[in-house]
Amino acid sequence: MPVRNALDALSLPPVDLFRSAWPWRSLAYLVTGALLGWATTAAVLALLIVGALLTAVVVGVGGFVAVLLSGTVVARLERRRLRLVDDAEMPDTHRPVPAGAGWRAWLRIRLREEATWRELAYAALSASLLCWMDAIVLGGVAYLVAISLGAPWAINDEPATTTVPVMLIAGPLSVILAYPVIAWAGARAAMARAMLVPRSDERLIEVTRSRARLVDAFEVERRRIERDLHDGAQQRLVALSIQLGMARLELPAGSPAAAAVTDAHDLAKQALTDLRELIRGVHPKVLTDRGLAAAVGELASIAPIPITLDITLPERLPPAVEMTAYFVVAEALTNVAKHSGAGQALVTVREAPTDRRLLLCVRDDGRGGADADAGSGLVGLADRLAVLDGTVSVSSPPGGPTLIRAEIPVLPEPS
């Protein structure tokens, strides 16, 4: 069975264990753990002192904020140190911050995350207790080995029959003492993993990644279907409609054949209209070609009620964001048309420049009372947005108006 961490290494036969690098890796982990804990204590004390001295000029508040964020630095170093005694990668549970969001957006996101406070708790435990336990284990091992090797100098007056056996004990003693070093290193690493990345979070991260991969694959398939329908079936229906139209012109008016061809021509045109609606629902071509603003404009043009658009986007968005935003607006307008009884609606689309989040608002003047549990499609909106770490909120008091607000992080496309 492969050995993946220090605790697994304890099950190896003694010969295999001491021929491996696990004793030395565990030793390095404890040494760096003690140093990291002491350095954290010194840095936090320095930040608190600076913050207290400079609070009067406001600048000192930065020192206190830095103390709150010190756990993120300790956690980042701990993730690297864990590779010494655990080959499994420990994921970072922080939300990604959009590129170019600025330090204020980064600070706001980090201070609102549970992971930040969990890391701060680990940093406090590491600096106040764990690093001292590392030092005690290392000091105890070093002391026992030192007194064994230093026996000739410590007991000069004793005969060789006394000092030599004591020196000979140093070798086996070093072997025996390696076990508590490895055991404590493995236990400490397991504790760090449990605090920084609870198992539920690991599963949640994997589920989220799997769902994102499935959605990406689904969107690729949607585009393929849209392309095949647009370039294949739709073109054939267009040709069929043209041929039937030409045939109508060749037939005498009022003849039985003319009536049948006219009906067939009308059915072909209706089938073509239905197919275009289907293609638009699968993946709107205008979204791929011209972007979100044009696609939302097309939705507004076919809506049964007047739709006012207020869209300001400085540039094209990543395809996943555009697709999600489009279907959020489409579902919201469908709800307005079917359930609200509204006479008009307003669609607002903005990109927040501070933290690069796309803001969508759909407001109508209907009767209100929208309920996500009543099957109005709002649950589907939340599920679709959750894939991109987006959120949706609904305000719909009885009597209206209804406001649907969605936020989607604008993350850069992977290179």
pLDDT digits (tens, 9 = 90+) for 53-94: 777 666 667 778 888 888 888 989 998 899 988 888 777 777
Across the beta sheet with 391-395, what order do the strands follow?
Answer: 307-312, 345-352, 357-364, 402-409, 391-395
Half-sphere exposure for 15 (CA within 13 Å, toward CB): 0
Q: What is the pLDDT of residue 338?
A: 80
Distance between CA atoms of residues 328 and 346, nearest Å: 14
Q: Is 405 helix (H, G, I), strand (E, B) or coil?
A: strand
Q: What percent of the chain has pLDDT over 70?
A: 73
Query: Pseudo-torsion of CA 286, 289, 291, 292, nearest 10°?
Result: 20
Distance between CA atoms of residues 265 and 258, nearest Å: 10
Which residue is it, tokens 């089938």?
A: 271
pLDDT tens digits, one per residue of 323-368: 888 888 888 888 888 877 788 888 998 887 666 788 888 888 888 7
Phi then psi for residue 142, to 5 deg, are: -60, -40
Q: Is the pLDDT of residue 35 over 90?
A: yes
- Two tokens at 366? 């209907």
In 3D, which of 315, 335, 340 has the Cα closest to residue 410? 315
| Mean pLDDT of all residues belonging to the chain | 77
What pTM does this model have?
0.53
In 3D, which of 282, 347, 290 has the Cα closest to residue 317? 290
Of 24-28, 178-182, 226-230, which one has max mean pLDDT?
A: 24-28
Sign, CA torsion 370/376/379/385: negative
Q: What is the pLDDT of residue 224?
A: 65
Sign, CA torsion 313/314/315/318: negative
Q: What is the pLDDT of residue 408?
A: 85
Question: What is 290-409's CATH superfamily?
Answer: Histidine kinase-like ATPase, C-terminal domain (3.30.565.10)
Of the pLDDT bands very low, low, confident and very high (cuts 50, 70, 90), residue 160 is: very low
Q: What is the pLDDT of residue 171?
A: 56
Distance between CA atoms of residues 152 and 148, nearest Å: 9
CB atoms within 10 A of CB 30: 24
The radius of gyration computed from the CA coordinates of the chain, to the nearest angstrom, equals 34
Residue at 22: amino acid letter? W
Q: What is the pLDDT of residue 159?
A: 47
Q: Is the pLDDT of residue 38 over 70?
A: yes
The secondary structure of residue 373, as a DSSP letter, is G
The secondary structure of residue 174, as a DSSP letter, is H
Residue at 192: amino acid letter? A
Strand duo 307-312 + 402-409: pairing: unpaired
